[in-house]
Amino acid sequence: MESTPHLSPLESLPQELLSAIIVHFEPETKIAFLRTSKRLYHATRPHIWHTLKAPRTRSRKDNPTKYTTTLYKLANIAKEIGVENMGFGYVKKLVFRSGDVVRHSLMFGSSDPALEGLLGIVNELLVEGKMDLQEVELYWDDINCASGEAARFFNILKEYKKLNLPQKPSIGAKMTSYFPTSKPLPSFPIGSLALECITKLQLGFPGYPNSEVELRSTPVSRSTPDIVGDIELLTNTLRGTHYLRNLSLSWKDYVTDTPASVLELPQLKELQDAITDLKNLYSLTLSGYLFHPSFFVIPPENTKVLMIKQEVSIAWWRKFAEHPFTGLEALCVSTGHAGTASTSQWLSGDDEEMVFYGSPDFEFLLGSVGIKGLKRFGSYYEWYYRPDDFETLLRKQNPGLKDFDFGELDWWYF
């Protein structure tokens, strides 16, 4: 009769507890742990393969001749010993960095050859039902430039219902913060992703079509038809993201002015309705110049975290003060004033700025705020544009208010 091998207390732990421990290890620690014993090898191996991503390097948009040596070696090893002898079946998450999947037509016929090799393996395993992919993080402005196995992967992901997956994959879709001025500005590829799979989304129109000098010299505006088109694209995108948990919303980074009539557009109400319908939203970030300084975005009820980095007006603050923000627990405010240059189009005769702003005797007071139940509050900056009595009113209405904890945020999508 064979004796049962003696196991250390650590090896005797149930798989669930071991997994709860291993998930917090750094990659090097996981490798060392895996080599300790046969029992810990089998417990650790799935965690080694859980996430597939390229190491952090400079964007391959800037370095089209560079590729990731480690991924290239991994793909070659798979060819040598067989995919079935490696741990690709344990992969649950894929992470694409900016430029990973972009075609570089002058240098390569497809994207990064290292990633191409691995995506070829991933695509086959997905189609054959041998990979339980649960999460993907990507840069959505790369999708329309993808080719080869990368383009095939995005097509497979869009048709996820045809795959033998136990659950709908979760997609985090971010946009590149800087886009070269020599290329056309991208807009969200609404037809290239299964919108119902998106749980984290950074949505806007990245890029700067003019030089920095030009941007600083005069207010930059957009025509009303262009504004309507942008609003409609954002609205149609959000209408399909029923399971969205984290949303970061901005507009074109270079716009600093719009006609006063924009605030009356029916398309803005439709955008607000689409945001209101995001019943699963946990956090919302609003940045920059959002169509008009007085356009106040109402978060869905029970949104827990709200970050506001907008260019706003006095009228915007009046609307903010009246809203109850039901269910909100954490608020970060870093607002700026939209400006009152003589050429500003957004100003109308009804705006208080026309009479008061810039006067040395003007004291901007709210008198009251409607927000209750807030637990944490903070700002990115020591000074930001706000009414003189805002923080006093906020703390009086929400006793015991603690500092906003930036460490709790998922900075991937901000």
SS3 assignment, position 101? coil
pLDDT given for residue 1 in this prediction: 42
SS3 assignment, position 381? coil
Q: At what angle do helices 266-276 and 224-239 cross, to 10 degrees?
A: 20
Task: Specify the DSSP class assigned to residue 111.
Answer: S
Quick one: average pLDDT of 89-102? 84
User: Which has more confidence, 208 or 19?
Assistant: 19
Q: Please, where are the H alpha helices in 11-54?
A: 15-22, 27-34, 38-49
User: Which has more confidence, 339 or 283?
Assistant: 283
Instruction: At 348, list the tokens.
Output: 């109308």
User: Which has more confidence, 184 or 305?
Assistant: 305
User: Which has more confidence, 354 or 242?
Assistant: 242
Separation between Cα atoms, residue 136 and residue 62, nearest integer Å? 23
Instruction: At 307, list the tokens.
Output: 């970050």
Highest mean pLDDT among 88-92, 124-128, 146-150, 403-407: 124-128
pLDDT in tens, 40-85: 777 877 777 888 877 655 444 445 444 455 666 777 777 788 888 7
Q: Which of 122-126, 216-220, 350-354 has the lowest mean pLDDT?
A: 216-220
Percent of the chain with pLDDT over 70: 81
Separation between Cα atoms, residue 353 and residue 278, nearest integer Å? 33
Q: Which of 113-117, 193-197, 279-283, 388-392 has the lowest mean pLDDT?
A: 113-117
Quick one: average pLDDT of 182-200? 83
Whether the per-residue pLDDT at 169 is higher than 90: the answer is yes
pLDDT in tens, 308-341: 999 999 999 999 999 999 999 999 999 998 877 6
| pTM exceeding the 0.95 threshold for the entire prediction | no
**Closest CA relative to residue 5, chosen from 43, 37, 31, 33:** 37
Where along the chain do its domains lie? Answer: 17-49, 51-408
**Closest CA relative to residue 195, chosen from 144, 242, 141:** 242
User: Which has more confidence, 290 or 414?
Assistant: 290
| 356 CA to centre of own chain | 38
User: Which has more confidence, 224 or 321?
Assistant: 321
pLDDT band at 406 (very low <50, low <70, confident <90, very high): confident
Percent of the chain with pLDDT over 90: 42
pLDDT given for residue 106 in this prediction: 36
pLDDT given for residue 159 in this prediction: 94
Separation between Cα atoms, residue 116 and residue 79, nearest integer Å? 13
Size (the chain), residues = 414
